[in-house]
Amino acid sequence: ENGIKDCSDGSDECPPDSTKDTVFSSPFEMIGNRVFRVILWIMGGISLLGNTAVCVMSIMQVRTAKSEPLKVAFLWLVANLSVSDLLMGVYLLSVSAMGSQFYGRYCYHDAEWRSSQTCSILGSLAVISTEVSAFTMATMATIRLFSVYFPVKMTSIKRATYAAPIVCAWCVGTLLGTLPLANYRSGYFVKSAVCMPRLFAKVGDAAWGYSTFIIVLNFCLFVYMACCYLVLYQRSRKVTKAGKSKSTRLLRTVAVMILTNFCCWIPICIMAFISLAGVKLDNIVYVICAGILHPLNSVLNPLIYS
């Protein structure tokens, strides 16, 4: 009636320029798997609400902790971490909302959607969120490590000591996220219906060098953070005078930090390296890594770092 057919009767009715079956989508739905649609809504909601709450509480606590510079430093780092993770929540909810808008007739909007500026911006938002979050967590690990080795100096930490890394994290993260937007022909965001950044690339693919750089960078940041926290625990164990219980609590906290980052990023990095070696990965691997593990840190960070 309105000139738009319902393509739920069969994929043969879809326009020839649409991708009828991609990693995430089906001819009828932008996010083909119903379970995955629910997971994206839940993760997006938790990320948005959780990070908003952490950001507000951290800023409120800054006012009551002015006499403790080190605590103020961590509160500002946590606030910035929550803002960067909040962007992932915006991305997840926006993609889910667009999927609902195209319900039952996605094939008629596929080509237009994946080549749209909105799709590229949402993909860019996901990269900015991930990279700023990673740089902020690395900064937090560094300051924590220094606070153990130089406790007296760090109790009077200067504002520039943590403000400069925060500004750099946002500048570098924003640059990395928006760089692909300068070349729309790279196809960095338009390969999947959910505009997810290309995590797994093969040598010679469009923007494969950029994808590899992002993966290697995040892998190095994870290794650095893991080393910082392991050294921090060993150092704290030697100097603490609070007994075994405090050492055990610290070990538990460090273990959770390392384990969550390991579960989120190491599988993605391993699969990316395997793909670079020329091995073809099943679509379900990409769905799990890009759609669940990639944004999972943004959901868990408010619980861990607050």
Which sequence spans correspond to the domains of the chain?
7-305
If one compares 170 and 229, the residue with the highest pLDDT of the two is 170
- State mean pLDDT over 111-117: 81
User: Which of left, alpha, beta for 233 (phi over 0: left; psi -120 to 50: alpha)?
Assistant: alpha
Distances (CA, A) of 210 to 42, 111, 175, 179: 30, 24, 12, 9
Q: Is the pLDDT of residue 21 over 90?
A: no
pLDDT tens sequence across 264-303: 888 888 888 888 888 887 777 877 887 788 888 888 888 7
pLDDT digits (tens, 9 = 90+) for 142-161: 998 888 888 888 888 888 88
Tokens 């195209």 identify what position?
Answer: 102
The alpha helices in the chain, defined as continuous H runs, are 34-64, 69-101, 110-114, 117-149, 151-154, 159-178, 208-239, 244-276, 283-288, 294-305
Q: pTM here?
A: 0.85
CATH 1.20.1070.10 fits 7-305, yes or no: yes
Name the pLDDT band for 169 (thresholds 50, 70, 90): very high
